[in-house]
Amino acid sequence: MKKDKFYITTPIFYVNDKPHIGHAYTTIIADTLARYYRFNGRDVYFVTGTDENSQKNIEAAEKKGEPDIKKYLDEMSAVWAGAWDSLGITNDDFIRTTEERHLVGVNKFFKAVWDEGDIYSGTYEGYYCTGCEAFVPAGDLADGKCPIHQKEPKKIKERNYFFRLSKYRDALLDHIGKNEDFIQPASRQNEILSYIRGFMEDISISRESQKWGIAVPKIAGKGADGQALYVWFDALINYLTAAGYGADEKKFKKYWPADLHLVGKDIIKFHCALWPAMLMSAGLPLPEKIFAHGFFTIDGIKISKSLGNILDPIEFAEKYGNDVLRYFLLREITLGEDGNFSVLRLKERYASELANGLGNLVNRILAMTEKYFNGKCPEKCEGNISPTWLSYDINMSETKTHAALKDIWDLIDFLNKFIDAEQPWTLAKTDTGRLARVIYTLLESLRHIGLLLLPFMPETAEKILSALGVAESFKESPAEKLKLWGLLPEGGIITKAGQLFPRLID
Ligand code: MSP
């Protein structure tokens, strides 16, 4: 069945600090996919937001000397929303877990799980790491510290509510077994299967004496007094509440289940085991796909505040441009694998692939049209670009954004070589008929490059399409039509695109 909607999510981010480049990576990938599916005519619903009921947010507010937690959360959430705006992210919604619509949905969800008999009360004793916002098994501690955050976790013993996660072991294994695409890439699937088979236990879903958070619903009886829901239990439900669960059933019916949860590899246990089990318990359909991207280091070193190598994506984009940041992140790191971020490498790619590869091609084609045809598009001729689209569309549908970018650059390289081989400057003297066919082919190929680039480098793509006089067409026409050859009007005015990639100063 052909689907007409595409619901895509990023994780919702903690607001204990402003976004760093790792967070921007997740959001830029999601934005690229959202733009791609929109271009293809799908009714895209792209959601990101902030995870606000977390202990580490509270600690950050206290550290900042801000006694008014809500004020701190409001300010920080606005910082995140503003960051995505200035990076040109096209999310359709921004959910905050302190919003009323979320609270209503969480209560409804809790009731569904409670009615299913999947919540019970018990005592929990363990080591809680606020960095992970999770209990760390005693066996995983290294020198008494959380191996990821290098901090001593708090020893906690309290009466909590538990979710019967282990009840769903067989159902989860069965679902993953039957749906190859459910967890991607495959390496992550293996990791999750071994966790579900060997380690997954019931999970405590409430906290005693936590000052901030969503109260455990009264339905849980007297024990609920003074208990807040465990932040991950409430946070995961954002994917439902953002789609209207508990508040707008029509919208919910339209968008749920999500087509893609995009997450970092650090949070797959929550997304690929706990979350589907929660949904099964509440009797709701599971998301179609959870894709985990890798982590990247900066110059080979883990991104960490204490090491002082936090890169601010906004400062970075102001210096190099949003499109350059997008291009580099998506080209340099194979989606799904770990990678490295290096400014030196970015400058290399900028010079060879953007300035020389794409920028040069655009300038050459537009300048030759100006010189040989007074800036008018020559008569149409036969041509074909469908092999590039075919490969590109397959790669995009398989979430292989790096490979789709390579498809575009293969075409760019081919066209630069085509110009060298055809030598239009010689044809201008010897064969003007062939010259017209060569220039038309180049102009039309450039139009396709503009379209192919739209999800990845939207500003650059618009400049190219504007120079060709067809910037409005992609907003109106269906993608299938735009992907055909020969849509540039004969005699149409071709202008300059401006300098797309100026020389970097430092
Ligand atoms: N609040 C939870 C998610 C709840 S979703 C229901 C959380 N938030 S977070 O602020 O810590 O953001 C985590 C996400 O940021 C990771 O899953 C990943 O997507 C992204 N990244 C953080 N550091 C990163 C890198 N160094 N590299 C790539 N992505 C990074 O976890």
Q: Is 261 a catalytic residue?
A: no
Q: Is 146 a catalytic residue?
A: yes
* Ligand 1 shell residues, CB under 6 Å: 11-14, 22-23, 25-26, 51, 235-236, 238, 263-264, 266-267, 295-296, 303
22 Cα–ligand 1 center, Å: 7
pLDDT of residue 1: 43
* Active-site residue (options: 132, 271, 289, 463): 132
Burial class of residue 61 in the structure, from the number of CB atoms within 10 Å of its CB (0-12 exposed, 13-18 middle, 19+ buried): buried
304 Cα–ligand 1 center, Å: 13
What DSSP letter does each residue of 93-149 carry, written as one string?
EEEETTSHHHHHHHHHHHHHHHHTT-EEEEEEEEEEETTTTEEE-GGG-BTTB-TTT
For ligand 1, atom 5, the nearest C-alpha belongs to 11
pLDDT tens for the 506 residues of the chain, in order: 457 999 999 999 999 999 999 999 999 999 999 999 999 999 999 999 999 999 889 999 999 999 999 999 999 999 999 999 999 999 999 999 999 999 999 999 999 999 999 999 988 888 888 888 788 888 888 888 888 778 888 888 888 899 999 999 999 999 999 999 999 999 999 999 999 999 899 999 998 877 789 999 999 888 788 899 999 999 999 999 999 999 999 999 999 999 999 999 999 999 999 999 999 999 999 999 999 999 988 888 888 776 778 889 999 999 999 999 999 999 999 999 999 999 999 999 999 999 999 999 999 999 999 999 999 999 999 999 999 999 999 999 999 999 999 999 999 999 999 999 999 999 999 999 999 999 999 999 999 999 999 999 999 999 999 999 999 988 889 999 999 999 999 999 999 988 899 888 66
Ligand 1 pocket test, pick from 266, 296, 309 with the greatest ligand atom count within 8 Å of Cβ, gives: 266
Q: Is 305 a catalytic residue?
A: yes
Residue 454 near residue 34 (C-beta atoms within 8 A): no
Ligand 1 pocket test, pick from 10, 13, 50 with the greatest ligand atom count within 8 Å of Cβ, gives: 13
For ligand 1, atom 2, the nearest C-alpha belongs to 13
For ligand 1, atom 29, the nearest C-alpha belongs to 22
Q: In whole angstroms, what is the distance from residue 271 CA to residue 283 CA?
A: 17
Residue 154: what are its φ and ψ, rounded to 5°? Answer: -85, 135
Q: In whole angstroms, what is the distance from residue 113 CA to residue 445 CA?
A: 55
pLDDT of residue 149: 79
Relative to the CA of 236, which ligand 1 atom is closest?
A: 6
- For residue 219, how many other CB atoms are within 10 A of its CB? 12
For ligand 1, atom 23, the nearest C-alpha belongs to 22
For ligand 1, atom 12, the nearest C-alpha belongs to 13
For residue 408 the two structure tokens come to 């575009």
Q: Is 20 a catalytic residue?
A: yes
For residue 23 the two structure tokens come to 């967070």
At 472 the three-state DSSP class reads: coil
Q: In whole angstroms, what is the distance from residue 28 CA to residue 84 CA?
A: 9
10 Cα–ligand 1 center, Å: 9
Q: In whole angstroms, what is the distance from residue 239 CA to residue 288 CA?
A: 13
266 Cα–ligand 1 center, Å: 7
How many degrees, rounded to 5, is the angle at CA 258 between CA 252 and CA 263?
135
Q: In whole angstroms, what is the distance from residue 215 CA to residue 366 CA?
A: 62
Q: What is the 3-state secondary structure (H, E, C) of 182-210?
A: CEECHHHHHHHHHHHHHCCCCEECEEECC
pTM of the entire structure?
Answer: 0.95
